[in-house]
Amino acid sequence: MWHDLQTMIWKEWKEFFTSRSTGRGTLLSTLIILFVLGVFMPLQVGEGWFTQPLSVVVWAWMPIFLTLGMVTDSFAGERERHTLETLLATRLPDLAILLGKILSAVLYGWGIAILSLLLAALTLNLRLKGGPYFYAPEFFAAALGFSLLSTVLFAALGVLSSLRAATARQAYQRLSLILLGFYFLPFMIQFLPTDLRARILEALMGLDWRGMMLALGGVLVVLDVGVLGVCVRRFQRSRLLLD
């Protein structure tokens, strides 16, 4: 199984990074994210980058945007290029094909998140005096965990939207609507009944950052498992071949 996953991950990375239509844009986007998260933002925050965990965690999810093109292209792009039939005709297990496409995006996005955190630490150590500086272990673990769970969630959602989409553009549009839903979700609290809204805000205010991270992490784990389960159920080789 691991060998099959490696084959799929290598295939996805090779197509994504060497394609004439996406390769140069992928490199530029990666460099921009690394500069923003690894140089610009840390310099703006200063020493607080290491002492304010929420600032690190909030920005740690940004690399998921680099995976959107990869996951929405995963099956819809193969369908457009008429290579899906060839892929599904191989002896690779269904689970290896599905998880390989998800993992290729997760490893890419999470790898960028890790590089951004390390580059930020390097930038501030070169800029600030009195070092060396680095993240507290619990802060660093929270940032890594949050970025990993977020990347898994949106990679799985992207692959799910791509499974039945006719084109990669259609899959991207579907995923964009989901992203908008996540973006506006915090604002939906204002439409709740006043008493319920007050209780929710009181509970949130009573949590320290560790409690908030644990609660958020728990929600993301549940969402990850649920979406991955839906992906496994929806991935049916025979139905995809008939499209």
Task: Give one DSSP letter per residue of 55-121, joined into a string.
Answer: HHHHHHTGGGGGGHHHHHTTTHHHHHTT-HHHHHTSS--HHHHHHHHHHHHHHHHHHHHHHHHHHHH
CA–CA separation, 163 vs 6, rounded Å? 21
Question: What is the torsional sign of CA 96, 181, 183, 215?
Answer: negative
Residue-by-residue pLDDT tens, the chain, 243 positions: 788 888 888 888 888 777 655 556 677 878 888 898 889 988 888 888 887 766 656 666 676 777 887 888 888 888 888 888 888 888 888 889 999 999 999 999 899 889 988 999 999 999 888 778 888 888 888 888 888 998 999 899 999 988 888 888 888 888 888 777 766 666 666 666 777 767 766 766 666 667 777 878 888 999 999 999 999 998 887 777 644
Q: Are 101 and 71 in contact (CB under 8 A)?
A: yes
Global pTM reads 0.82
Torsion sign, CA atoms 221, 226, 227, 228 = positive
Q: Residue for token digits 């239509």?
A: 21
Query: Helices marked H in the chain — which ranges?
Result: 2-18, 23-35, 41-45, 48-51, 53-60, 68-72, 76-80, 84-88, 94-127, 137-163, 168-184, 194-205, 209-234, 237-242
